[in-house]
Amino acid sequence: MLQALTRVIHAAPVPIFGSVGTASMFLCAKGKMLPRMVGWVVPLVPGALWFVWPAVDDGWKIEMGIKSAPKEI
């Protein structure tokens, strides 16, 4: 019973990959590479923030308390 259920799940269609079995094999292979990629987190986070931060709305920054509200005259 369990083997039949496993076969049905692995044969379920998934966009791009074709089936759950193919998608799981791909994700397992990519997951094994994660420890080698951890070193890239340190330079990528500041780089992404440097690129994205100017696009963040000032209203959101004020709401989150990151930026002070402009003083009214």
Whether 64 contacts 56, CB under 8 Å: no
Q: How far is CA 70 from CA 59, 62, 67, in A?
A: 11, 9, 9
For residue 44, the model assigns a pLDDT of 92
What is the pLDDT tens value at each position of the chain, 73 positions in all? 889 888 888 899 989 889 999 999 999 999 999 899 889 988 999 999 899 988 888 888 889 888 888 887 7
Cβ neighbours of 5 (radius 10 Å): 9
Q: Residue 52 belongs to what domain range?
A: 39-67
Residue 73 lies in a domain: no
Residue 23 lies in a domain: yes
As a whole number of angstroms, the distance between CA 62 and CA 69 comes to: 6
- Through-space distance between the first and last CA atoms of the chain, rounded to whole angstroms: 75
For residue 28, the model assigns a pLDDT of 94
Task: Look at the pTM and tell me if it is higher than 0.85.
Answer: no
- Number of compact structural domains in the chain: 2
